[in-house]
């Protein structure tokens, strides 16, 4: 059963360009935006991650960490992160175990483009899965959800 709004977010630990990361390590500390994406260096994914980089301080001001997740290997993530100057980690889900937990695994692309906002208590408060990977959510939409969570 895929992860749904109002449910505890499935925990995981994945390698990243900044070391191993567990979702549970954020519980009680900060909100997390899980941003699943198909692949490093593709046009839409590059644009999406660059937008996150440009707005990173806005996400941080709202107490949120961004975790980018794709099936690409760590070596590719490191190169992609350096090229874009990313300050948030990119996690490698090469076996698609986490993508399957969240219901976003895709046999063609590896992962659907999807967004989950997990609150400070580890509960999924927002979920959006793009119908086609050529579309992405605007940061303004995600930031609005984060602002609403802070005032709730």
What are the C-alpha distances in Å from 49 to residues 1, 92, 138?
28, 15, 11
The two beta strands, 21-22 and 13-14, are antiparallel
3-class DSSP state of 25: helix
- What's the half-sphere exposure (Cβ side, CA atoms, 13 Å) at 140? 0
User: Which residues are marked as active site?
Assistant: 45
């Amino acid at each position: 059963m895929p992860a749904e709004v109002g449910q505890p977010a499935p925990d995981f630990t994945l390698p990243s360009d900044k070391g191993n990361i567990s979702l549970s390590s954020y519980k009680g500390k900060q909100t997390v935006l899980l941003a699943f994406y198909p692949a490093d260096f593709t046009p839409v994914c590059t644009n999406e991650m660059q937008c996150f980089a440009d707005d990173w301080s806005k996400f941080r001001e709202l107490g949120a960490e961004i975790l980018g997740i794709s099936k690409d290997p760590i070596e590719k993530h490191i190169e992609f992160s350096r090229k874009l100057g990313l300050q948030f980690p990119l996690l490698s889900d090469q076996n698609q175990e986490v993508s399957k937990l969240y219901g976003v695994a895709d046999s063609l692309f590896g992962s659907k483009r999807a967004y989950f906002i997990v609150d400070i208590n580890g509960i999924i408060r927002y979920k959006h899965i793009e119908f086609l990977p050529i579309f992405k959510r605007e940061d303004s939409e995600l930031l609005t959800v984060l602002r609403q969570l802070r005032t709730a």
